[in-house]
């Protein structure tokens, strides 16, 4: 049977079912691989400010950046639900502005849905975007675009009042029309309460197993940065080691003239096996 991308209503319908798997992605090559691995959804996160741009935060990421990377990812996907993150200041100024920017990520990027951070205060923007026919994924708890306000990347919802705030934010976002909700950096019991109280799937990152699915930043789960070791992160590969070893081996072989050898060089008589294959 032909595999099809989950639609937003289908994604929403997975509430309480088999856990949803989402990863971030920023380019076509990794998009092809994560799709082959069978993820349910791909997010072009504004985490690209950290892992692609090396900016130390997400605050400098623009709508044009996200649209560009979404287009790259869309080119590598055939049938996977694709969500584009709305960057800082692309949805906070006015609901009209939010809709215009969400529309760019759909039209220019080819996303199926957008994600934006924040609770009750983002409800008007969510409503406006949803009313225009664009599915919105919410994001509450530790919302990285507000890290200055939080005083750092700190777990949210630890006190009774803060936990109540996270729960109210989640409910407001869903009430405004979100079809799903990322829960980031909150205690396990708060995640359980939110997951039980909203009718849409919760996707956790640093929010325990008490969610309807999980998301990780692709480069983090691949172990690209050995300096980044937060408690919530499990690394499923050691790409930092692999890349250093592979590039180091290449450099050593170039310097000793071991590469390219005859088997990687062309002769005059062209053979079929020597054709440079198109990717
Ligand atoms: O920007 C991002 O990658 C995200 C995920 C971590 C949820 O928002």
DSSP assignments along 240-257, one per residue: HHHHHHHHHHHHHHHHTT
Sign of the C-alpha dihedral computed for residues 157, 158, 160 and 161 taken in this order? negative
Contact 166, 156 (CB under 8 A): yes
pTM score of the predicted model: 0.96
Question: What is the dotted CATH code of the domain comprising 8-221?
Answer: 3.20.20.60
How many angstroms separate the alpha carbon of residue 47 from the centre of ligand 1?
6
Q: How far is CA 206 from CA 146, 185, 232, in A?
A: 17, 5, 5
Residues marked as catalytic: 184
Q: How far is CA 124 from CA 8, 102, 149, 231, 267, in A?
A: 20, 14, 21, 34, 66
Question: How many residues does this entry show for the chain?
Answer: 279
Mean pLDDT of 234-250: 98
Confidence at residue 1, expressed as pLDDT on a 0 to 100 scale: 61
Report strand pairing: 113-115 vs 81-85: parallel
The whole-number pLDDT of residue 271 equals: 65
**Containing H/E element for 34?**
helix 28-36
Across the range 142-150, mean pLDDT stands at 97
Give 233's contacts (C-beta < 8 A, 6+ positions apart): 216, 220, 221
pLDDT of residue 269: 80
| Spacing, Cα 48 to ligand 1 middle (Å) | 9
Taking the CA of residue 47 as reference, the ligand 1 atom at the shortest distance is: 1
């Amino acid at each position: 049977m032909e595999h099809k991308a989950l639609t937003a209503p289908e994604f929403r319908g997975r509430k309480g079912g088999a856990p949803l798997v989402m990863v971030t992605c920023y380019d076509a090559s990794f998009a092809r691989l994560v799709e082959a691995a069978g993820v349910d959804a791909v997010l072009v996160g504004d985490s690209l400010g950290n892992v692609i741009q090396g900016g130390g935060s997400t605050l400098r990421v623009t709508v044009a950046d996200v649209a560009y990377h979404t287009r790259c990812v869309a080119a590598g996907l055939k049938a996977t639900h694709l969500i584009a993150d709305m960057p800082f200041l692309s949805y906070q100024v006015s609901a009209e502005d939010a809709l215009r920017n969400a529309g760019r990520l759909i039209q220019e990027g080819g996303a199926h849905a957008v994600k934006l951070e924040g609770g009750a205060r983002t409800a008007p923007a969510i409503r406006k975007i949803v009313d225009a026919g664009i599915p919105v994924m919410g994001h509450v708890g530790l919302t990285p675009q507000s890290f200055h306000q939080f005083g750092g990347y700190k777990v949210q919802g630890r006190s009774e009042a803060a936990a109540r705030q996270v729960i109210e934010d989640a409910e407001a976002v869903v009430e405004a029309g979100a079809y799903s909700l990322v829960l980031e950096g909150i205690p396990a019991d708060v995640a359980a309460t939110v997951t039980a109280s909203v009718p849409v799937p919760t996707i956790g990152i640093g929010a325990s197993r008490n969610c309807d699915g999980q998301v990780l930043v692709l480069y983090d789960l691949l172990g690209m940065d050995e300096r980044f070791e937060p408690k919530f992160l499990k690394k499923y590969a050691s790409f930092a080691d692999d890349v250093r070893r592979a590039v180091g081996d290449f450099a050593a072989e170039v310097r000793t003239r071991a590469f390219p050898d005859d088997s990687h060089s062309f002769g005059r008589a062209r053979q079929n096996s020597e054709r440079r294959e198109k990717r």
